[in-house]
């Protein structure tokens, strides 16, 4: 793992100048140039210092946007209430009641791999399967960023720095919306997705490492290919729910906001790529969108 970390760090230092994570958006009635930054939710926060032009873009912004206002997610009372409301499975539809013993054993084997037996599916039985799938996805991704501790999260750090600079922070969405989006599918579909995550664990780890490298190199083409990888990536239904419809909603919010203020927008890099990504959608709306070199 340490060797991997050093390899990623070397790649960042060598190729940061070619990264395409920061984009300038201007024209079409915008007050001034705004900036769009693609994040990786557990990437090292040092990228804020090594990405060319980012410090100036953040300093010059009048309002900073993220997917959500991360301060709302930091409220323990609100978060606990939300989890009780949306993350708990119905008492007659818990995982141990709906899954076979073979399925339970398979999930526990993967959990043991990442937690050394400290966490089992039985301990999370009252939670919806989608929550466990999300946690497994984080564990798989952390193999690419083994030094990540959760104390410094890239999206949150952007917002913290913005507040330190006295800038208002806004979110495109609410914590409630995102939680419902992730946990709102029927339980049977969530179980099917969980078992897919378990069966593809080894492949997912490899793809997570490839995605991390592609992100640190700012290679949006590779990021797009990995996100829509036919073996482990999103299908069209998932992409519509998790990316396309949200991108369209965000562009509707951005157009009037950019007419009034200079913005710095930091959202997951998956929202930037493709014909229905923010870059192309803003271009189709009449803006000039160029990478900051």
pLDDT for 90 equals 92
Mean pLDDT in runs of 10 for the chain (293 residues)?
38 47 97 96 88 96 97 78 85 95 97 93 94 92 78 90 97 93 94 95 92 93 94 92 97 98 97 97 98 91
Backbone angles phi, psi at 164, to 5 degrees: -65, -30
The torsion of the CA quartet 278, 263, 181, 84, rounded to 10 degrees, works out to 160
Q: What one-character DSSP code corresponds to residue 250?
A: H
In what helix (H) or strand (E) does residue 158 lie, and over which residues does it extend?
helix 154-164
How confident is the model over 112-123, as pLDDT tens digits?
999 998 999 999
* CA 31 remoteness from chain centre: 28
How confident is the model over 244-262, as pLDDT tens digits?
999 999 999 999 999 999 9
Q: Which of 277, 225, 210 is nearest to 248 (CA)?
A: 277
Q: Which residues pair with 36 in a beta bridge?
A: 23, 265
**Alpha-carbon span 181 to 176, nearest angstrom:** 8
pLDDT for 84 equals 78
DSSP strands (E only) in the chain: 22-26, 34-39, 63-68, 169-173, 263-268, 288-291
* Complete edge-to-edge strand list for the sheet that includes strand 288-291: 169-173, 63-68, 263-268, 34-39, 22-26, 288-291
Q: Please list, in sequence order, all residues whose beta carbon lies within 8 angstroms of the beta carbon of residue 5, skipping any fewer than 6 positions away.
A: 145, 146, 147
Extents of the domains making up the chain: 2-291
User: pTM of the prediction?
Assistant: 0.89
């Amino acid at each position: 793992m340490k060797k991997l970390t050093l390899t990623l760090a070397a790649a960042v230092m060598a190729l940061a100048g070619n990264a395409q994570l920061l984009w300038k958006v201007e024209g079409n009635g915008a007050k001034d140039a705004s900036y769009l930054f693609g994040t990786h939710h557990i990437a090292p926060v040092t990228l804020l210092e090594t990405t060319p032009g980012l410090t100036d873009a953040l300093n010059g912004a009048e309002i900073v946007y993220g997917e959500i206002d991360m301060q709302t997610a930091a409220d323990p009372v609100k978060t606990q209430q939300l989890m009780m409301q949306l993350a708990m499975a119905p008492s007659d539809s818990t995982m141990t009641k709906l899954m076979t013993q073979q399925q339970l054993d398979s999930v526990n084997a993967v959990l043991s791999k990442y937690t050394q037996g400290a966490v089992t599916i039985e301990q999370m039985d009252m939670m919806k399967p989608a929550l466990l799938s999300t946690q497994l996805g984080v564990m798989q991704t952390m193999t690419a960023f083994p030094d990540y501790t959760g104390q410094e999260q890239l999206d949150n750090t952007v917002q913290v720095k913005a507040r330190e600079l006295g800038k208002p922070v806004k979110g495109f969405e609410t914590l409630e919306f995102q939680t419902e989006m992730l946990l709102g599918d029927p339980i049977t579909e969530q179980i099917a997705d969980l078992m897919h995550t378990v069966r593809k664990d080894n492949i997912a780890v490899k793809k997570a490492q490839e995605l991390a490298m592609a992100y640190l190199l700012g290679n949006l083409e590779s990021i797009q290919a990995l996100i829509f990888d036919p073996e482990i990536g999103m299908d069209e239904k998932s992409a519509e729910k998790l990316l396309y419809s949200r991108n369209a909603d965000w562009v509707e919010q951005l157009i009037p906001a950019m007419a009034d203020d200079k913005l710095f927008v930091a959202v997951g890099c998956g929202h930037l790529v493709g014909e229905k990504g923010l870059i192309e959608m803003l271009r189709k709306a009449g803006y000039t969108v160029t990478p900051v070199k």
